A = this chain, B = another copy of it.
Amino acid sequence: MTQVVWHITMSLDGFITGPDDSMEWAFKYPGPNRLADEVMESTGAILAGRRWYDVASARYSGRQGIYGGAWEGPVFVLTHRPPEAPTDPGITFLTGGLAEAVATAGQAAGGKNLEIFGAGVAAQCLDAGLIDEIVVHLAPVLLGDGVRLYGVAGERRQVELERTDLAESGEGGLTSMRFRVTRG
């Protein structure tokens, strides 16, 4: 059965990007990372938001940069303002509602999992009860600024989780955790 998996790298102080949407801090911890590999191999489709698209296409090779090019499959971006001249045929823009987007992308996953990128779409999915699992790679750094994992304080509600897996990658590097959403 298709599971909806939010897959994210985060600083110890809870940022998923640094200042100015920078991601270089997240790329400097050497692998291999068993949990990241497991998520990639079980992913049939990816759903992201417009902010992910803007940053990824401007700086990180867009669709080709996902998992360093090691993953193939359909990528969907949910946005009310699709680009006028999309340049990447591997990306489909969805302009409808959230539940519809998750259903469309989930069907495209062909029995594998649907992976959610970024913070905005993921937080909306959590609020709507649409996320089954969260896989977080916690980087050993305090960033002090950037985009928060789970939005602005007071905007969101409490979500209970259960840690179902734990792995470390690299000497002193990432701490990788898999959680199941149990209530929220």
Whole-angstrom distance between the alpha carbons of A169 and B172 in the complex? 20
Ordered by A's residue number, 6 sampled pairs between the chains whose C-beta atoms are within 8 Å are A12-B136, A14-B14, A142-B159, A144-B153, A145-B154, A162-B172
Kindly identify which residue among B142, B149, B160 contacts A184, using a CB–CB cutoff of 8 Å: B142
Query: Closest chain B residue to A159 by CB distance?
Result: B142
- Tell me which residues across on chain B come within 8 A of A161, comparing CB atoms: 12, 140-142
Using an 8 Å CB-CB cutoff, how does the interface string of A134-146 with B read, 1 for contact, 0 for none?
1010101111111
Report if A156 contacts B (CB, 8 A). Answer: yes
Given contacts A143-B158, A144-B155, contact A149 B179 (CB under 8 A): no
Instruction: Give the contacts of A1-40 with B (CB-CB under 8 A).
Output: 12-15, 18-19, 25
Whole-angstrom distance between the alpha carbons of A160 and B134 in the complex? 25
Minimum-distance CB pairs A-B, first 8: A14-B14, A144-B156, A13-B150, A140-B161, A162-B172, A142-B159, A145-B154, A145-B153
Q: Measured between C-beta atoms, what is the minimum distance from A79 to chain B in Å?
A: 24
Whole-angstrom distance between the alpha carbons of A155 and B173 in the complex? 25
Whole-angstrom distance between the alpha carbons of A138 and B146 in the complex? 20
- Tell me which residues across on chain B come within 8 A of A149, comparing CB atoms: 12-14
Does A148 contact B13, Cβ atoms closer than 8 Å?
A: yes
Query: Closest chain B residue to A151 by CB distance?
Result: B144
Whole-angstrom distance between the alpha carbons of A179 and B157 in the complex? 29
